[in-house]
Amino acid sequence: MELSENYQFNYRKLLKFLSRKDSSGYMFAMADDYRFISQINTSLQAELEQSNTNSSIVFLQSNADEPLVEQLKAAGTFAHAIIVANLYEVINSADGLNQLLLLNFSREELRSIQSPALFWVDAQSLNVIANQAPDLFSQRRFTTIHFTGKVEHPMPEVLEKPDWQEYVNTDKFKETEARIETLKRRFEDAEESGYNASRIASEIAIPLAFEYAQLGFAEKAEVLLTKYEALLDNTNSNQLKQLAKVYYQLHQYPVAIETLQKANDIIERNLSKQARDTVYPSDWFYNIIDLSDWMKEYGLPNDAINLLTKAETLLLENIGQYPVNTKDNIIALFKERLGDLHFTLGNLEKAKDYFEQGLNIAQQLERSNPHREQLKRNLSVSYDQLGD
């Protein structure tokens, strides 16, 4: 483990803040290497227990019935100190900005909790807090604590992955490993506490299986699937999509394709129960894009072309019902995928035409949102494909 010189100073500052009984307020901390978070939290909790300070490590649920501040209040009822391990995940999620604004509006309630609270953030979420929730940011108790450096672990022998030595040095590997450690702890705590088995399945076990599968730990992923897959809600499209991605990472393409198709079928059935003018949600189209990718990898490029073509026709028929950026982004992805599929089949003129259409849309999107890195990446991909 490589540590910055101020590691112990920062750690002691967190410990001192959380040790203050009959105190309140909150502060933020961040780490360049996400794996520090789990290790620091475990160490903090152990030292707090030695000083008879009861602490609670909280994982906020953005999709729960209770607002975030109520989840924190509940934790404060049973603990002298609160450690929120995943605020960065909540803020960086699809509904993160709304969740942050609600927390900002509830900051007085947050300050009234008679337990000091530590929130773990990252550079991106901290920037969002500072800009979108300035009151929440300015009313923190101390300057944000920043742990620099990185954690080094030996290479697992069970994983067979090309270029493994290079992969373990990437940020993606480190973030995946950090998520595994976090989910493992939650999984063990949930099973020991008798947490609802169906919620363990959807909220912890299947996400953990996905992370294992990403790193090639097939046996560990399959153990979780064997025990918890049957407890998923087969009428919930989001849970089915989550399961499909696990099977995709395990290279079980037929099961992955079938499961994701079931997810889209559920979305369609739910739409049929609503008003006639209800249009397909963007999630349905993004699922189609994933399905086309998986079909291509499984050797079904023509099926993928038919799927994308039908979905594109459906989108264009209801084009006025979608936000401009959402519509343009989906169409650009359709063009990119169709071009790639025709390129694979040797239909170079069709591929060139689709890539040019996709490039034109990608250029428009990047010009309208010049600060979004994802759009810049998409534009570079379009140039690369057309160059090929």
Indicate the burial class of 95 (C-beta count within 10 angstroms; 0-12, 13-18, 19 or more): exposed
Digits of tens for pLDDT over the chain (388 positions)? 444 557 888 888 999 999 986 677 899 999 887 767 877 888 898 889 888 888 988 888 777 778 899 989 888 887 889 999 889 888 887 788 898 999 989 888 887 888 899 999 988 889 899 999 999 998 888 889 998 876 554 434 344 454 556 666 777 778 888 889 999 999 999 999 989 999 999 999 999 999 998 887 888 999 999 999 999 999 999 999 999 999 998 888 889 999 999 999 999 888 866 655 567 888 999 999 999 999 888 778 888 999 999 999 988 888 777 777 777 788 888 988 898 888 877 788 888 888 888 777 777 766 766 666 666 666 666 667 777 7
* Rounded CA separation 206/332 (Å): 31
| 8 Å CB contact between 220 and 250 | no
Look at residue 230 in the predicted model and tell me its pLDDT. 94
Alpha-helical segments (H) within the chain: 7-18, 35-50, 68-78, 87-91, 96-105, 107-112, 123-132, 134-138, 164-167, 171-192, 197-200, 206-214, 218-228, 237-249, 253-272, 282-297, 301-317, 324-345, 348-368, 373-387
**DSSP code at position 229:** G
Concatenating the DSSP letter of every residue in 230-271 gives GGS-TT-HHHHHHHHHHHHHTT-HHHHHHHHHHHHHHHHHHH
Look at residue 156 in the predicted model and tell me its pLDDT. 40
* Rounded CA separation 186/132 (Å): 30
pTM, entire model: 0.59
